[in-house]
Amino acid sequence: MTTLTRTGRTPGIPAFVPPGAAAGPTAAELIRRERTYGARNYDPLPVVISHGEGSWLVDVEGRRHLDLMSAYSAVSFGHGHPKIVAALTEQAHRLAVTSRAYFNDRLPLLLERLVAMTGLDRALPVNTGLEAVETAIKAARKWGHKVKGIPEGRARIIACRGNFHGRSITITGLSTEAQYRDGFGPFPAGLDTIPFGDPAALAAAIGPDTAAFLVEPVQGEAGIVVPPDGYLAHCAEICHRRRVLLICDEVQTGLGRTGHTLGWQHDGAMPDGVILGKALGGGLLPVSAFVATDEVMQVFNPGDHGSTFGGNPLAASVALAAIGVLEDERLVMRSRELGAWLLDELRAIASPLVVDVRGRGLFIGIEVDAARVTAREVVDRLLARGILSKDTHGTVVRIAPPLNVPREALVWAVGEIRAVLSEIEGETRAAARA
Ligand SMILES: *Cc1c(COP(=O)(O)O)cnc(C)c1O
């Protein structure tokens, strides 16, 4: 049994000596500058990262942290994966950006790969997750008007309460999070929301003008909310019968995160469109895509939609390398097996502070009892022990490491999580006695 401390060694994990760690400004000074000169749209944990390697991040003071967050799945294949970095640097030296005014010699290979991976017909590459979601919404609306025959300007999109699809104006208009909407209206018309995990609510919400149902296979930002088994299959059946597109937002669940290549595969529910992002960029670049059936994608004619950087050869090379790593390292199976094991381990902690541990694959949420502790408190204490996680929605601690995280690192992390929970429990009990 190996033991691992934040500064210690574990077989297979080299001790990390950050080059020139002490050279720059101190952590406190960097945090001060960011707080002084940056917009206040984020509230980061007080740790300043300067290096990353695999599942490990090193801060400017040379402390090593286990990354249980993977930048919201953007780093599903670990930090600085040698094969993905090699693809990036080789391609950067050769050709990086051409725009879509010309063909390039990398994009066709990526498109073919995306189509093979999803079982759909055509892919449209863009850059960030929200751009791909916007692309899907544009495609769905135009399909609704031109193919389904919805009167022009009347197409409606249904999404789920608690969704997270990004932060553009339209997507914010779909959000049910008061803070995300506050002050940002007016929002576009034609957007509806229904409860997540409830096929009957979908059936009831569909009207003659409904073009698409947009859904996350597992809701990430809502707190790793897992729907009942069979949910998406049921939704697919309803959508098919009512001539409504089923579009899965796999920006966070895609590429192995839930123990399937794509999250919808858990139910075998074939969607009409899939949105990919985050992990598709191999932890190095923003790369996203909307992948759909011919019937949907044929609504786009030259000039209808596009992005200057979308499908650039640098991004295509990196995405191809990322998909290669997913397959070569058998990370889908690894996520499924390691995730099932981790879920059991975390459930076995059985702390009275924890009300639920849930997840699929290496996509796990620990929900704490809001009356007794905040998720942020747990996250702060894990940080002090060299573990980076993140609270979401006040009560959920998100556990989503790189899919190739060493098992022994997770064994260590489970011990630290157990220690943090019993530490807080002990203190609350002592405070209650006093
Ligand atoms: C992160 C996320 C997005 C938005 O991606 P960005 O790259 O941040 O624009 C969209 N959908 C889901 C499910 C996400 O998790």
Q: How many CB atoms lie within 10 A of CB 113?
A: 17
CA of 129 to the centre of ligand 1 (A): 4
pLDDT of residue 15: 52
For residue 338, what is the enclosing H or E element?
helix 331-349
Report, as ranges of residue numbers, the positions in the chain whose pLDDT lies below 50: 1-14
For residue 326, give the nearest of 281, 372, 270 by alpha carbon.
281
Strand arrangement of the beta sheet that strand 122-126 belongs to: 122-126, 288-292, 273-276, 245-249, 210-215, 156-160, 191-194
Instruction: Give the predicted TM-score (pTM) of the model.
Output: 0.95
Class of domain 27-68+331-433: alpha beta
SS3 of 182, please?
A: coil
Backbone angles phi, psi at 117, to 5 degrees: -70, -35
CA of 278 to the centre of ligand 1 (A): 7
CA of 132 to the centre of ligand 1 (A): 9
Question: Which atom of ligand 1 is least distant from the CA of 288?
Answer: 7
Model confidence over 108-149: pLDDT tens digits?
A: 999 999 999 999 999 999 999 999 999 999 999 999 999 999
Atom 11 of ligand 1, nearest CA residue = 165
For residue 367, give the nearest of 231, 264, 226, 258 by alpha carbon.
226
User: Is 83 among the catalytic positions?
Assistant: no
Backbone angles phi, psi at 16, to 5 degrees: -105, 120
Pick the catalytic residue: 164, 290, 300, 309? Answer: 164
Q: Are 311 and 107 contacting, i.e. CB atoms less than 8 angstroms apart?
A: yes
What's the CA gap between 314 and 88, in Å, rounded?
A: 7
What's the CA gap between 382 and 223, in Å, rounded?
A: 18
pLDDT of residue 36: 97
pLDDT of residue 7: 46
List residues near ligand 1 (CB under 6 A): 72, 128-130, 133, 164-166, 216, 220, 249, 251-252, 277-278
What residues does each domain of the chain span? 27-68+331-433, 82-328
Q: DSSP string covering 57-96, please?
A: EEETTS-EEEESSHHHHTTTT-BT-HHHHHHHHHHHHH--
User: Is 146 among the catalytic positions?
Assistant: no
Q: DSSP string covering 188-202, please?
A: PSSEEEE-TT-HHHH
Question: Which atom of ligand 1 is least distant from the CA of 221?
Answer: 15
What's the CA gap between 79 and 64, in Å, rounded?
A: 13
CA of 1 to the centre of ligand 1 (A): 38
pLDDT of residue 17: 53
Question: Which atom of ligand 1 is least distant from the CA of 275?
Answer: 11
Question: Which atom of ligand 1 is least distant from the CA of 133?
Answer: 10
CA of 433 to the centre of ligand 1 (A): 45
CA distances from 201 to 69, 141, 150, 218 (A): 32, 21, 22, 17
Q: Does the 82-328 domain belong in CATH 3.30.365.10? A: no
Model confidence over 176-210: pLDDT tens digits?
A: 999 999 999 999 999 999 999 999 999 999 999 99
What burial letters (b/e) apply to 332-352, b meaning 16+ CB within 10 Å? Answer: bebbbebbeebbebbeebebe
